[in-house]
């Protein structure tokens, strides 16, 4: 198991112990003392750091959480914020971007739908206060080799939809109004599980996909099948230019691969968007015959840029794909926004 994976598991354990301490109205140290087996040393460090810096941490959170009191926060959010703040204060060897990304991921996974964004915004303010504005790219102290949570990576593998490309939902709504279709008909028909699986593994070509959507919609609604197929084929999207600029910068440092669960039209779409040359390699599931979360999809992307899996950073907006990548040994992080991505890349020294 890699150090990054061990640290990730330790954080999850520490969060559970801190949550338990609060539920029992006791300290983290007392919860640790009652355990039959002591957890990983890093988990213990985090729990005890919260105890040691609790007054400072709660003061910072109360100051920055405008409109919120600590008591009003969801208990898991409060525990995650205390743990992340303690790590920022007590573990200067861990990059700021890594602390934020790991803490936000845990809050997103175990707390409310809004917890990731809330924890990210508040913890970023704490980081600026206790580490300064330039802390995100800080290196570990000399003489501590191997004690970095997130080692420098040699390649980036990035998702397309939800990260770089964002579909224009108004297009589908307007098209349905023009065709006299109930709202949601086009997307529900096109992205039906079995059909989408055939599209993304290459059994159903893009042209046949559009035709099939048209035929099915026309079978249950008074519309022309060809018109529906054309509407689906002409769907529009926009490209996040901030993310594009970040990827262009990363390519000055390491190679970048695109890994997308996409139709056979992927290359055409990239050319249409003017970003085909943004990548050193493009791996589409329809061409490969397999997509995320299959191991062969990740392996194919890593092979195309000549980087071992465990030296790749993977970024995707689907948490299931992130977890699958982590299980294979990649450094994998969920995409939550362009600025968060900038912090992550900067913390890993992937920006010039």
Q: How far apart are CA 347 and CA 327, in angstroms?
A: 22
The structural domains of the chain, with segments of one domain joined by +, span: 3-137, 155-164+238-347, 169-235
Tens-digit pLDDT string for the chain (352 aa): 567 788 889 999 999 999 999 888 899 999 999 999 989 999 999 999 999 999 999 999 998 886 677 887 888 999 999 999 999 999 988 888 889 999 999 998 988 777 888 898 899 999 999 988 554 433 333 333 333 233 368 999 999 999 999 999 899 999 999 999 999 999 999 999 999 999 999 999 999 999 999 999 999 999 999 999 999 999 999 999 999 999 999 999 999 999 999 999 999 999 999 999 999 999 999 999 999 999 999 999 999 999 999 899 999 999 899 999 988 989 888 998 999 999 889 878 898 8
Candidates 32, 14, 8, 173; CA nearest to 105 is 8
Q: What is the CATH code of the structural domain delimited by 155-164+238-347?
A: 3.40.50.1000
Q: Are strands 312-316 and 331-334 parallel, antiparallel or unpaired?
A: parallel
290-321 tens-digit pLDDT: 999 999 999 999 999 999 998 999 999 998 99
Q: What is the pLDDT of residue 78?
A: 92
111-154 tens-digit pLDDT: 877 788 889 889 999 999 998 855 443 333 333 333 323 336 89
Q: How far apart are CA 123 and CA 87, in angstroms?
A: 11
Measure CA 220 to chain center: 38
Element spanning 282, H or E = strand 281-284
Element spanning 299, H or E = helix 295-304
Prediction pTM value: 0.59
Q: What is the pLDDT of residue 146?
A: 30
Buried/exposed code over 108-119 (b: 16+ C-beta within 10 A; e: otherwise): bebbeeebbebb
Cα distances (Å, whole numbers) of residue 2 to 13, 42, 327, 331: 17, 14, 10, 10
Q: How far apart are CA 346 and CA 137, in angstroms?
A: 6
**Domain 3-137 is of which CATH architecture?**
Orthogonal Bundle (1.10)
């Amino acid at each position: 198991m890699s150090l990054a994976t061990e640290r990730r598991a330790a954080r999850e354990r520490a969060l559970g112990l801190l949550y338990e301490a609060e539920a029992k109205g006791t300290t983290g140290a007392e919860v640790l003392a009652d355990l039959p087996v002591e957890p990983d040393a890093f988990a213990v460090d985090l729990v005890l750091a919260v105890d040691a810096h609790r007054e400072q941490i709660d003061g910072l959170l109360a100051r920055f959480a405008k409109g919120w009191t600590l008591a009003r926060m969801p208990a898991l959010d409060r525990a995650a914020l205390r743990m992340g703040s303690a790590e920022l204060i007590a573990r200067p060897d861990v990059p700021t971007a890594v602390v934020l990304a790991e803490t936000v991921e845990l809050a997103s996974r175990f707390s409310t739908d809004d917890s990731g964004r809330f924890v990210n915004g508040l913890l970023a303010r704490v980081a600026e206060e206790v580490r300064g504005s330039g802390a995100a790219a800080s290196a570990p102290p000399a003489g501590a080799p191997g004690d970095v949570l997130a080692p420098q990576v040699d390649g980036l593998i990035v998702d397309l939809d939800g990260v770089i490309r964002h579909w224009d939902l108004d297009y589908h709504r307007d098209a349905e109004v023009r065709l006299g279709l109930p709202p949601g008909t086009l997307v529900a028909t096109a992205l039906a599980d079995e059909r989408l699986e055939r599209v993304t593994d290459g059994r159903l070509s893009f042209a046949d996909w559009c035709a099939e959507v048209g035929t099915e919609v026309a079978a249950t609604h008074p519309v022309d099948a060809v018109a529906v197929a054309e509407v689906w084929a002409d769907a529009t999207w926009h490209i996040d230019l901030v993310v594009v600029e970040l990827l262009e910068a990363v390519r000055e440092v390491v190679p970048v691969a695109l890994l997308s669960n996409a139709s056979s039209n992927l290359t055409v779409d990239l050319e249409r968007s003017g970003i085909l040359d943004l990548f050193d390699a493009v791996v589409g599931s329809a061409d490969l015959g397999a997509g995320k979360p299959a191991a062969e999809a990740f392996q194919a992307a890593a092979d195309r840029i000549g980087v071992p899996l465990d030296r790749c950073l993977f970024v995707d907006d689907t948490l299931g794909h992130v977890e699958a990548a982590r299980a294979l040994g990649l450094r994998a992080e969920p995409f939550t926004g362009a600025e968060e991505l900038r912090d992550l890349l900067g913390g890993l020294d992937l920006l010039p």
